[in-house]
Structure 1
């Protein structure tokens, strides 16, 4: 099965785009790691940069996150599963 010239061009463009997105993702992760290290180093050390950033995002701000009781933090991480189970679990 041979690829037509048009298909080959499309495959090359797609591969190039995938490479660009992978590089962008790496840069974004490096940026997140740096920012979390500056803004919330203890949180980043305890649970990691990505999870810490997600918790801050769910809470709305770092200040709001610090005011949350532990039971609320537990729900923040499991919100999607909780609501999925509430709507469809038996």
Structure 2
């Protein structure tokens, strides 16, 4: 299963031949390779789905918010499952 995380373009990196952008993912900013997307297709404020350091596709804000919500639910469900296992009776 592949997991893509939504992030918002904070800035395009100058002198990178349209290959890099600084992307904000829930407050954490990282340089991401945008070379898989058409040149000139991104601007600050746009949203992308990121997988292993590459922007895989451009999405709208609604799609990004939905993906973040799903990731948050998955995290909560995983945390709850771990807590339930930890609290269960040992075999």
Band the TM-score falls in, shorter-chain normalisation: 0.3 to 0.5
In the superposition, the TM-score normalised over structure 2's length comes to 0.36
Task: Name which one, 1 or 2, has greater alpha-carbon Rg.
Answer: 1
More helix by share: 1
- TM normalised by structure 1 equals 0.36
